[in-house]
Amino acid sequence: MEIYLDNSATTRCYREVGELVMQVMCSDYGNPSSMHLKGVEAERYIKEAKEQIAKVLKVTPKELIFTSGGTECDNLALIGAARANRRNGNHLITTSIEHPAILNTMQFLEEEEGFRVTYLPVDENGCASLEALKEALCPETILVSMMYVNNEIGAVQPIQEAVSLVKNYNRRILFHCDAVQGFGKYRIYPKRIGVDMLSVSGHKIHGPKGVGFLYMREGIKVRPIAYGGGQQKNMRSGTENVPGIAGIGLATQMIYTDLEQKTEKMRQLKARLVEGVSGIERCRVHGRTDENSAPHIVSIGFAGVRSEVLLHALEEQEIYVSSGSACASNHPAISGVLKGIGVPREYLESTLRFSMSEFTTEEEIDRTVEALCKMVPMLRRYTRR
């Protein structure tokens, strides 16, 4: 029995999405820039996907830019906004536990383009300090970026409060939100919460890999970071990934159908997993696990067992999990997120991330708990002291 608990790394495509992608790849394969019928057909898929996504977000279709995924969305938002608004200031703000797509882009802007970046601290649950944000704001601030849900521990950031604080200080400061882990788990309305830009990735919501979209509020200044044929109103040149765009449009529509029932099921499974491992000695759940945390992510440390050893032991039982963020690379490293929330040293190299989806079952959770209860004590006996 295969048990897949690494849905924060990627999800299984909805069957309907896979069928649609195949249809567009093999039958309706025209270039949307072509003027003939095949091109018009392809353009129709892009228009339909924009309408599907815009309806869910309650935005206008023209405020959506399709990209290759969350990383490109973040790069376009940060680099494009920073360069376009530099005359107003050179100060950027983010949190210390963002995804590498944000942190490494901020580092690039800091080291290569001369911007000043403030990295906000977080508390033991991974929530950014609003007081630190208030203190960091200054006349030179032009952009704030804060993720909706942390990809490693499931911390939910106070986005609406942060946006309100920033906009009350200066309405011209742009606010970007990396919603890659939050989209499809929460109903997110950018205009209601006041964010100017929002990043989403297709393969986190049972859509295809290699496609994402960036919501950009109409009227904001952002420079493109890729130049070419002028597609997508010159904001992101290059032939559009029509199969992927069609797929992410349908996946968005499908994941938001009966969303509350799906997320409640995941919350129950999360509670079942947390309760199941509570009997294992020297086991620690990082961050919150209540209603104020993401419904699908659990980060658990097992002191005395290296994370990659336990990961591969579970893999032998066809149970697939992550030793942290699988979005960066497959080379294990000590998590900056865990260090950022003050996790004791004995758990820093002994933590696994379990992440669920609407397809996860109680039986899968129970079998995972059973495997952990057997493996952890056994592996500890063989660990060098």
If you ran DSSP here, which 8-state letter would residue 173 be given?
Answer: S
- Are 317 and 302 in contact by the 8 Å Cβ rule? The answer is no
d(CA 127, CA 120): 10
**Which pLDDT score, from 0 to 100, does residue 384 have?**
56
CATH architecture of 257-380: Alpha-Beta Complex (3.90)
Nearest by Cα to 338 from 328, 330, 346: 346
Residues annotated as catalytic (active site), given as ranges: 327
- Are 222 and 93 in contact by the 8 Å Cβ rule? The answer is no
Amino acid identity, position 151: N
- Are 71 and 202 in contact by the 8 Å Cβ rule? The answer is no
**Which pLDDT score, from 0 to 100, does residue 336 have?**
86
Rg (the chain; Cα; Å): 21
Predicted confidence (pLDDT) per residue in 113-162, tens digit: 999 999 999 999 999 999 999 999 999 999 999 999 999 999 999 999 99
Predicted confidence (pLDDT) per residue in 189-241, tens digit: 999 999 999 999 999 999 999 999 999 999 999 999 999 999 999 999 999 99
- Are 293 and 182 in contact by the 8 Å Cβ rule? The answer is no
Other CB atoms within a 10 A radius of the CB of residue 66 amount to 27
Provide the 3-class DSSP secondary structure of residue 207.
coil
Other CB atoms within a 10 A radius of the CB of residue 260 amount to 8
The residue to which tokens 């496609």 are assigned:
211
Residues of the chain within CATH 3.90.1150.10 domain(s) are 257-380
**Which pLDDT score, from 0 to 100, does residue 325 have?**
46
What is 11-44 written as a DSSP string? -PPPHHHHHHHHHHHHTS---TT-SSHHHHHHHH
Cut 0.85: pTM above it:
yes
Residues in the chain with pLDDT < 70? Answer: 324-333, 383-385
Residues of the chain within CATH 3.40.640.10 domain(s) are 13-254
- Are 350 and 379 in contact by the 8 Å Cβ rule? The answer is no
The residue to which tokens 């995941």 are assigned:
266
What is the fold of 13-254? Aspartate Aminotransferase; domain 2 (3.40.640)
